[in-house]
Structure 1
């Protein structure tokens, strides 16, 4: 799930080095009569019963405790959080998009937590586990995840003589070649917006590259490395051969474009294809609903394409006056039973143990398989600035439109990233 990162944290005076939640002795115990939990509207609209169950569980252990909730839309949450963290009225629990965590952790805005206090922490998904860790310490708890999968139209594939979803990169490109030849130059065999950096960086990581690497406590951009260049060239070839839409677009309206019926395949979070098939967006006369087939995207490396795991984490602000109760509520909300509720809503769980149970369900097997190999953004103090500057998006657009070679675009992006990646926001 793509989350907009608002990097202006405003927490320079944040207390650093707070004791981990659940520390030994009674020093971490709180006498608070209430806790305040900030969640996004996703929880309010889609799984309010889970919120109530967590409230009921902690109140049963602490009779008289009141749990207050505030819900925010994603674009509004961080601006509000930045403002309140500068005061003494911080919430006790806050939901964060997983790429939003890094600058807050770097500034000491969140309290350290003890992973052993939370269910399934030993099996947290790698892509989410990385998002709650900074400098070897843990500052949050994974909440839920979503993975990217490939979806294509079996009717379009069949018309081109393709009867089954591909299992290898060679099969995939061969099938797309047939589809492209059958449908013509104005059709996108694979609709892949150039500014979708989540997809493009999957090619980089598939080739053994990375956006940046850590060395001696410092981060250095590595898009110029041979492996990263190899991945970018593989991505560029896809754009050139199969993407015949607007090469300056991002992925925000991909499902709407896909619903117009001028493309065969897309690589996107699992919710996008069903959304495209919604009658509001399906302009194919209803052909999408029964013709969408999901499959794990094979990578050029011969392995499944590593995916960016979007999702949410839960963190405890350092200024919370009830950190122990906040940790209890988070565990009640994200424990095994809670993850089961989230899975029933179409989400991926935060751990590999429960993820394995999804593999036997045809409705979720593809997403579960795709999530096994994942990557995450550099957990560097200045990563928020990199995202805000849209450095990767601009690099990719320059490559796709031919304004820069892969090598020059990567060099320019590395230079821009290196200027800010080690600087706290």
Structure 2
């Protein structure tokens, strides 16, 4: 029997985003998460006595700050080499951005496929041939798969490729190709990388994204790991998913519709967070808390978000190894403005005016000129991504407008004497 591990998108030494600013966060655990997940990968390979490991791109996370990342990788490859385990790698878009990786010699048991054209490596002792091509630069937009050779009938054929296929949300459209492009090559297994969520595209032949081995932010929730593939008499008999991550990300949505007191809100949130922690098999948990529902204390929530957030953080750390990435207040009012004040009440008219506020990026920066000056001084990383600073896109502005409206309404209701 032949056994191999298919992994991808390791992003070695990539920082986990979203927890560093919190005083109670496990800083060292965050910094070393990708290394410890990679150690779990090495341990799995040794325990299962695999013949080889396939890394389908993005082993690294762009250019290194120094050589420590490469030295760490080389040391782990040395452990595999002592057990006769080979490693085959195609570079992906993040690897291609690195300069230091191009100068460090690879260990003897590691093969990095050429970026110039598809390359085929034969393992005659076990009857396997691996076809692959690395990225020559970061943004590869041509169909690399189309140039891969046809299968060799004398071997078990594997295609190793870093690709977005026909496109995946949240991932750049690199090395695009179709499932038919891959199937036309006649390979037995396609080991893909680039997409960070595990996905089995096909079982005839097997076409697999294993996902990354460690979630790095709130968009990478759930279990992360690699695939262990078993081959017998030239046929795949098993493809198993193994969890390798050391810290899990999750989104916890809590309905507060039935909560009429502050104490009840804390109780409901505590139960939800403890339940989420029970589902991660003892791993530390970074969680985004989203509060929803038509809530009787909606106004109090919006009026004191900082105090509520700190209260929820306290509940999280009391529950175990759990940290709140952020809290989203998305509750709504229990009753309409008309039910509160009637049609002709002056406060009702004022509140309706608040609801009609129109807001877009241009208007916001014109009304508050200081925001534009501040935005220009911020580093690029704060202005991009899921939680970028004052993103002027229509969706973000719509959400910001709604938040402002509801906050003003809550303030007016409070001063107007409404409960």
Shorter-chain TM-score: what band? under 0.3
Larger Rg: 2
Higher strand share: 2
Higher helix share: 1
Query: TM-score, normalising length from structure 2?
Result: 0.26
Query: TM-score, normalising length from structure 1?
Result: 0.26
Higher relative contact order (CA 8 A, sep 6+): 1
